Amino acid sequence: MRRRILPGVCCQQNQILWFFHRRRSTVTKLKRFLGNSNTLEVHDTANEKSSCQLDEIKVEHRHWYDTIGQAKADKDYDNCAWCLGSSTR
Ligand SMILES: [Zn+2]
């Protein structure tokens, strides 16, 4: 009897958690890595955290890269402490 109700509730809660976990920002991801040319920080959007606040990056400051290497070759970016870690500053 209990089994018939509880799994459904669990599933629903997991879906809601999954939804909030995945939808950190409304930024359209063109490539995996997003550099902010204003703060000179680079983010890994595949590991985005709410603290990254990608929505706060102005469109003209957004620079997209396929790899972290491309980003660092283009500008002197620092790793975002939230999604990449090992900040070098
Ligand atoms: Zn980040």
Q: Output the CA 70–ligand 1 centroid distance in Å.
A: 17
User: Tokens for 54?
Assistant: 């990608």
Overall pTM surpassing 0.75 (yes/no): no
Q: Output the CA 7–ligand 1 centroid distance in Å.
A: 34
Residues at Cβ < 5 Å from ligand 1 ion: 43, 52, 80, 82-83
pLDDT value of residue 2: 53
| Residue 26's pLDDT band (cuts 50, 70, 90) | confident
| 73 lies in some domain | yes
| pLDDT tens track for 53-87 | 999 999 999 999 999 999 999 999 999 999 998 75
| Tally of structural domains, the chain | 1
Q: Output the CA 5–ligand 1 centroid distance in Å.
A: 39
In three-state form (DSSP H/G/I as H, E/B as E, the rest C), the secondary structure along the chain is: CHHHHHHHHHHHHHHHHHHHHHCCCCCCCCCCEEEECCCCEEEEHHHCCHHHCHHHCCHHHEEEECCHHHHHHHCCCEECCCCCCCCCC
Q: Residue 64 sits in which domain range?
A: 25-89
Angle at 28 between CA 89 and CA 14, to 5 degrees: 90
| 6 lies in some domain | no
pLDDT value of residue 89: 55
| 87 lies in some domain | yes
| 83 lies in some domain | yes
pLDDT > 90? residue 15: no
